[in-house]
Structure 1
């Protein structure tokens, strides 16, 4: 699946994550992560994002994530929502 539009989901509130996805012309998955808990949970956050993209069949996307301490299920839901919005738009 290829992303053709820009889409966003989430907020910058505490315990949430803001996700923005956009097309990637190089046909790669490019993830840019900022997190207040990067040292403790950065690898786990990246794993959740990558696994969610894989489950959705996304092969090329630029994803920017600004995490404010979101739990795994919140991250997954925000990524799914942003991808679905990018496809539907």
Structure 2
């Protein structure tokens, strides 16, 4: 997970916020976007950065990522609402076979 966090952080602006919220889930808070579509482009960049085959402790593994996007104030008026909306969006993406 440390490697994944490093990859995410290297892909973000210095003032964006990255937090591991448990298990294999991370939250990224990005301020100052003019359009929601910009969040989707950033998500694609993060997915590309961590997806693929890697070797961990001599074992080949395939990594992937699923992303849920929530925007303020459309998807929630506070942090809890935004996290809930992003979580729902992520599981919908997984069910649809998208990342």
TM over 0.5: no
Smaller-chain TM-score bracket = 0.3 to 0.5
Larger radius of gyration: 2
Higher-RCO chain (CA-CA 8 Å, sequence separation at least 6): 1
Higher strand share: 1
